[in-house]
Structure 1
């Protein structure tokens, strides 16, 4: 879910997915809804603000910010922060943050994000809070969870979910895939000594799965993740896959019953026409309707990353489908 991971992008680009494809044929994938204004974005997280309107945060800048009154016309509103918090420079020389996730609980907005460098899992996830959720109003609270080169996971691409009275954070990229830890709801940081649960990987190195997002629908938890290569413009091969579980910590399986820990995952959305490399996804609710937010690379605009929004619906069998 980031402009990230330097496990040789060229090598990643040739990784061919061996996972089952049970979703729509490519020609039936819907285009993103038409939007206007500032469309450029990468790894979007979107929320309908309680004060009205929408905010989208993203990779780029000091967590780039976009605002909209109607979910159609978007304006560039600068960044979440005026300057990078000093501790970000422990993880890259430019203080560059990746892949934010916004949520609302306990009377305030919470913004999670990652800081790292290409090609290393010396990485950290941080958190900030705001009363309004608007750019320029965030107070940073430091590190939530970290990874080092001795770990078999990568602490980037955070996404939160509340389940069974507990707060959980999924995360991960390459380095054996998607993980999950429990958070302290008071601090928003990892519970001391928390178990690092393993949710999804693939059998083929470099384990090109990242950017998880989990939602509850009915009695199931659904794990969405981006597979293959991002960040290469029109040569990107990003696609979104999904599995589900009756437990937030897994095991997650696809519609054929294949575990996501064994390379399973139903294909939800992939590139088609001008919309290349669909991924970096998140999900938000708007007036009771689920929406999928993601980026794609516009083949008709030199591969520029842009915001994709599609309605997310559910089949009779309880599987998600984009419209």
Structure 2
């Protein structure tokens, strides 16, 4: 190879790589997945007529975190983290079940969802933890003597695991993961979450590469779309940016997060979950934390766990002292089945 040819090659290769990355960022998307009836239908059937009015908690950057509160007498509180594409209102049935059991519940719209911040995006990875730190300080100011649990559903469950194993792990007294997303490489994961998500693989690969090069300019672009039903675009979040997807997500070392969790944790999932393999959770988690209780609820699907009485009761049971569990679960079931959800 002549010197001139070598010079041309040295120049051409980086240019070709740059052009390839640019094309992957610009055009590496995917069509939205077909709507999943099993995910959307249970939420549509929920009674929202008594949905509490929204309230606001000021955050450190001046944004208001929008939330709903379900106050109960007693010294126990639960913060409910919704799943992907959703908002705090999707936790309405669960929040009412907890309230009926004497547990005050707070259901925020996480930043990038509902009425908090810009739909589908955040400013940086880690902003959700900053928001949560502000929100828990706000709740502790209202309930200074309370035992506070953090409960997350689906992607929210994966995010709660991230919190439990991270720097905020000691901020809560109990963690409950409901049908948690553990990451696309976890053995509990069905392909593409059973059809719920369509990842933009080429764009993701390009953005990961750019991030490793210290380039973050394009991380506000969407990298995953959800199988939401037509007409729900004004209510639900249709896609996540790269940085929101990275943050509202368990760590890559999700088993390490289980291992590092400093407070009691419970995992509950429906046996008929459409997005995850319910029968694989216990064996996986118990390889690192055999003390974490994993409960599989017969006959329930993914969303059923936060909407139907048996699913709500399993969460109440996870938070209830053993001496009171049967009574509180029974009370919750009676109230829910009487139509109070």
Could you say whether these structures have the same fold, taking a TM-score greater than 0.5 normalized by the shorter chain as the test?
no
Greater strand percent: which structure? 1
- After TM superposition, the score normalised by the length of structure 1 is 0.30
Flag the structure with larger Rg. Answer: 2
TM-score, normalised on structure 2?
Answer: 0.29
Higher relative contact order at CA 8 Å, sep ≥6: structure 1 or structure 2? 2
Give the helix-richer structure, 1 or 2: 2
